[in-house]
């Protein structure tokens, strides 16, 4: 019998969810920017920085907070309030904590199989009308 990944919220600490959420946001970012057309990896990496820094993630939080369900908001707050031994280098402590909350939420959405909701929140948080 094959082992699979099963999601039980009590099995994951907020910072573990944030670890997965960081990777999931990176994946959503890469899929989005590659959709703009073929370009060099260097250009892709430069563009990705618009999405994955603590400052940009904190700004995305501001845009999606009103859209979160009570359950999603609770998960976000668990991540935001989690104690980390990591000190931010290029962001304020507030931006860093908000970014951790966002990553926690996206990790939770990933493990919950709520990929459509993750994509919706990613688009609302990052994709602005031009």
Q: Catalytic amino acids? A: 22
CA dihedral for 122, 126, 129, 130, sign (positive or negative): negative
Judge contact between 104 and 82, C-beta under 8 A.
Answer: yes
In terms of Cβ atoms closer than 10 Å to its own Cβ (0-12, 13-18, 19+), residue 87 is exposed
DSSP state of 39: -
């Amino acid at each position: 019998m094959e082992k699979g990944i099963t999601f039980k919220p009590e099995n994951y600490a907020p910072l573990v969810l944030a670890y997965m959420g960081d990777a999931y946001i990176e994946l959503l970012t890469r899929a989005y920017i590659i959709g703009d057309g073929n370009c060099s990896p260097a250009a892709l990496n430069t563009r990705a920085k618009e999405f994955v820094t603590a400052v940009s993630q904190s700004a995305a939080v501001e845009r999606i907070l009103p859209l979160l369900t009570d359950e999603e908001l609770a998960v976000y707050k668990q991540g935001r309030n989690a104690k980390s031994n990591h000190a931010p280098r290029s962001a304020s402590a507030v931006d860093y904590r908000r970014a951790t909350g966002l990553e926690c939420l996206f990790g939770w959405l990933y493990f919950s199989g709520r990929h459509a909701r993750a994509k919706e929140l990613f688009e609302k948080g990052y994709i602005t009308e031009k």
